[in-house]
Amino acid sequence: MEQTKKKIVIGSGKGGVGKSMLTAGLSYLFSQENKIVALDCDVDAPNLAIWLNEAGNWAEEIPVATSFKPVIDRKKCNNCGLCAQKCPFGALKMKEGKLTFNRFLCEGCGLCEAICPQKAITLKKVKNGLIKIKKTQYGFPLITGKLLPGETGSGKVVSEIEKVAEQQEYQLMVIDSSPGTGCPVIAAMRMADYAVLVTEPTPSGVADLERILEVVNHFNVPWSLVINKYDINPAMTKTIEENFGLDKIIGRISYDQAIFKAVARFQPIMETELKAKEEIKEIFNKLKQYAQTT
Ligand code: SF4
Ligand code: SF4
């Protein structure tokens, strides 16, 4: 029978709600029963490798060049200032009659190249990311990518991670998304067959959950919800359950400072005897139906 490949994205409206911890635990548990590949698509702050104690000894590193920056031909430029007037991000400016360029403000939109009357600007591809690959101690491949400091194009780096991951043999892709609703999140949710959203019982946790749900619903991705640190604010946990639907909640994880002590020792949660380990197992058991791959 032909195997169906599935992609589960673990996302959150805000950072620091336990998304990578949950992804690490689920990757480990799914790998016991399925051929999986784990992806860290949180390209602004990738840390899935840390939660798996896999931060070193990468087998392969692949540079990514998906962003563009203008190169100005000073011999052709007559410093007319038009591009500086029109650059939507303030990357081009006139200073003492001379055109200046700040690459850190440039989004590579290409407007300056298109409008320069002297054809003095050409957009060139620049290296903006790095993808790293390894086989983990648990036997499944881990692919992680990062956006280089000051560079743009985080969504495109996520798409490159996906392309590299597609070269692996897998039944299930487990994807740690960036938090929020920006380009890398859109790039991750675009490929999702199913989304597990993680939140915490705080006002910002709830507000940001509502925002990411707009992205998830835009792509018609079926989803469920995990409340991390549910016991720090039982009243708000109850509100989340009522507002988002009890049937949507597939798990709750307790607040436990020992989790941070474990990760500081590079000890994956699934190798501890912490309560969170059992709570993640319960979430996994509820998710299993989405991983049925044949
Ligand atoms: S529009 Fe062209 S010629 Fe004018 S300042 Fe910009 S690069 Fe120079
Ligand atoms: S590519 Fe776009 S953002 Fe960059 S300098 Fe040109 S107009 Fe500005």
10-residue mean pLDDT series, the chain (294 residues): 80 92 97 95 96 94 95 98 98 97 94 98 96 97 95 93 96 95 94 96 93 95 96 95 93 96 94 97 90 52
pLDDT at site 195: 97
pLDDT at site 294: 39
Same-domain check for residues 33 and 119: no
**Is 1 a domain residue?**
no
Same-domain check for residues 22 and 73: no
Instruction: State the ligand closest to the CA atom of 94.
Output: 1
Is the CB of 106 inside a 6 Å radius of any atom of ligand 2?
A: yes
**Residue with CA nearest ligand 1 atom 2:** 116
Same-domain check for residues 224 and 115: no
Longest dimension (CA), the chain: 70
pLDDT at site 293: 46
Same-domain check for residues 23 and 139: yes
Measure 123 CA to ligand 2 centroid, in angstroms: 9
Same-domain check for residues 121 and 214: no
Instruction: State the ligand closest to the CA atom of 123.
Output: 2
**Is 122 a domain residue?**
yes
Which protein residues touch ligand 1 with a CB less than 6 Å away? 72, 77-83, 99, 116, 118, 120-121
**Is 244 a domain residue?**
yes
Measure 126 CA to ligand 1 centroid, in angstroms: 21
Q: Which of 12, 274, 23 is nearest to 142 (CA)?
A: 23
**Is 254 a domain residue?**
yes
Q: Which of 173, 132, 130, 170 is nearest to 154 (CA)?
A: 130
Q: Is 202 exposed, middle or buried (0-12, 13-18, 19+ CB in 10 A)?
A: middle
Same-domain check for residues 133 and 122: no
Same-domain check for residues 18 and 158: yes
Q: Which helix (H) or strand (E) holds 101?
A: strand 98-101
CATH number at 104 reads 3.30.70.20
Buried-state track 12-46, b at ≥16 Cβ within 10 A, e below 16: bbbeebbbbbbbbbbbbbbbeebbbbbbbbbbeeb
Distance of CA 195 to the CA centre of its chain: 13
Same-domain check for residues 117 and 226: no
Same-domain check for residues 208 and 120: no
Is the CB of 116 inside a 6 Å radius of any atom of ligand 2?
A: no
Is the CB of 44 inside a 6 Å radius of any atom of ligand 2?
A: no
pLDDT at site 210: 94
pLDDT at site 292: 62
| pTM (two decimals) | 0.89
Distance separating alpha carbons of residues 130 and 62, to the nearest angstrom = 6
Distance separating alpha carbons of residues 87 and 79, to the nearest angstrom = 14
Which of ligand 2's atoms lies nearest the C-alpha of 86? Answer: 7
Domain count, the chain: 2
Instruction: State the ligand closest to the CA atom of 83.
Output: 1
Is the CB of 91 inside a 6 Å radius of any atom of ligand 2?
A: yes
Same-domain check for residues 197 and 233: yes
Q: Which domain holds residue 46?
A: 6-65+128-291
C-alpha triplet 258, 260, 265: angle, nearest 5°: 95
**Residue with CA nearest ligand 2 atom 6:** 112
CATH number at 60 reads 3.40.50.300
Same-domain check for residues 122 and 132: no
Measure 88 CA to ligand 2 centroid, in angstroms: 7
pLDDT at site 60: 96
Same-domain check for residues 197 and 180: yes
Measure 112 CA to ligand 2 centroid, in angstroms: 6
**Is 177 a domain residue?**
yes
Is the CB of 70 inside a 6 Å radius of any atom of ligand 2?
A: yes
Distance separating alpha carbons of residues 107 and 89, to the nearest angstrom = 7
